[in-house]
Amino acid sequence: MDLTKVQQHSGTPFYKAIKDHSPEFLELMYTRNYPNLEVYIIQNSGNAEDARDIYQEGFIAVWRNIQLGKFHPSTEKEFSAYLFRVCKNKWIDQLRKNKTRPVEAVGNADKLEARHIETEEDEKYKYLIQVRENFLQLGDKCREILSMFYYRKKNLKEIADQYGMTEASAKNSKYRCLQKLRELVFNNSQEK
């Protein structure tokens, strides 16, 4: 992770909003950027379901690259253009796999960019996939506590109130759940 680059962009409101992971802001970004992609996919041999699937895959890929410090959008325009390119490349790849009719080719820069963000061989990416898989193996309470804290941005007091525990207990539970997830990922990756 290029910390210097991240720090350079850390003051940008757009970058902060999307990096700090406000679900509300992400929803807005998701909703606003979808229509253009749907138009493109429908015009290029696809339907609304294809558009939805490609868009969701692309949205997560872009979001992940932001979280991993590989992409630092300073403005919404930059984010939207990148998201569109990623989805477009995914769709072109899928059409090629399906051997359907060719679509408008993208430039070399786009192809390079697609390769840059599609780092499926990347160790970090593999680890993330393992985290996603193993998260589902956690108990309900652990999943909920981690989701409340890290995704829905609830504070420890809110978590404590929901489960009728003290803030100290909530903090401790959060730690234990994260450690449990870490162990699951480690143990299951050893078995593979």
Partner 1 sequence: MKNQYQISTEDLNLISRVITGEADSGETELFEKRMNTESGFPSKVEEVRLLITGVREVNLAASLKEWHEKMNTSNVPDQSKGKIRSLKYIIPAAVAALIIIVTGIWFMINPGPQENIYSQYYKPDPGLPTVMSANSDYAFKQGMVYYKSEQYSQAIEQWSPLLETEPENDTLLYYMAQAYLALGLIDDARKPLEKILTLSESEYLGKAAWYLGLIYLKENNKEEGKALILQSDHQQKEKILSEMK
Other CB atoms within 10 Å distance of the CB of residue 151: 10
Closest CA to 32 of 8, 14, 9, 11: 14
Q: Does 32 bind partner 1 (CB under 8 A)?
A: yes
Q: Which residues of 161-182 are buried (b: 16+ CB within 10 A; e: fewer)?
A: eeeeeeeeebeebbeebbebbe
Q: Which residues of 79-96 are buried (b: 16+ CB within 10 A; e: fewer)?
A: bbebbbbbbbbbbbebbe
Q: Minimum distance from CB of 11 to partner 1 (Å)?
A: 7
Judged by beta carbon, residue 58 or residue 92, the one nearer partner 1 is 58
Scanning the structure block, which residue is given the tokens 């995704």? 151
Q: Does 2 bind partner 1 (CB under 8 A)?
A: no
Q: Minimum distance from CB of 85 to partner 1 (Å)?
A: 16
Judged by beta carbon, residue 33 or residue 89, the one nearer partner 1 is 33
Q: Minimum distance from CB of 79 to partner 1 (Å)?
A: 11
Please report how many Cα atoms fall inside a 13 Å half-sphere around the Cα of residue 175, on the Cβ side: 6
Q: Does 11 bind partner 1 (CB under 8 A)?
A: yes
User: How big, in percent rounded to 5, are the helix, strand and coil portions of the chain?
Assistant: 75, 0, 25
Residue type, 67: Q
Q: Does 120 bind partner 1 (CB under 8 A)?
A: no
Q: Minimum distance from CB of 165 to partner 1 (Å)?
A: 17
Stretch that binds partner 1, among 19-27, 96-104, 114-122, 161-169 (CB under 8 A): 19-27
Q: Does 25 bind partner 1 (CB under 8 A)?
A: yes
170: which residues sit within 8 A by CB, 6+ positions away? Answer: 145, 156, 157, 159, 160, 163
Q: Does 165 bind partner 1 (CB under 8 A)?
A: no
Chain residues in the site for partner 1 (CB under 8 A): 1, 8-9, 11-14, 17, 20-32, 34-36, 38, 48, 52, 56, 59-60, 63-64, 67-68, 74-78, 123-124, 127-128, 130-132, 135-136, 146-147, 150-152, 171-172, 174-175, 178-179, 181-182, 185-186, 189
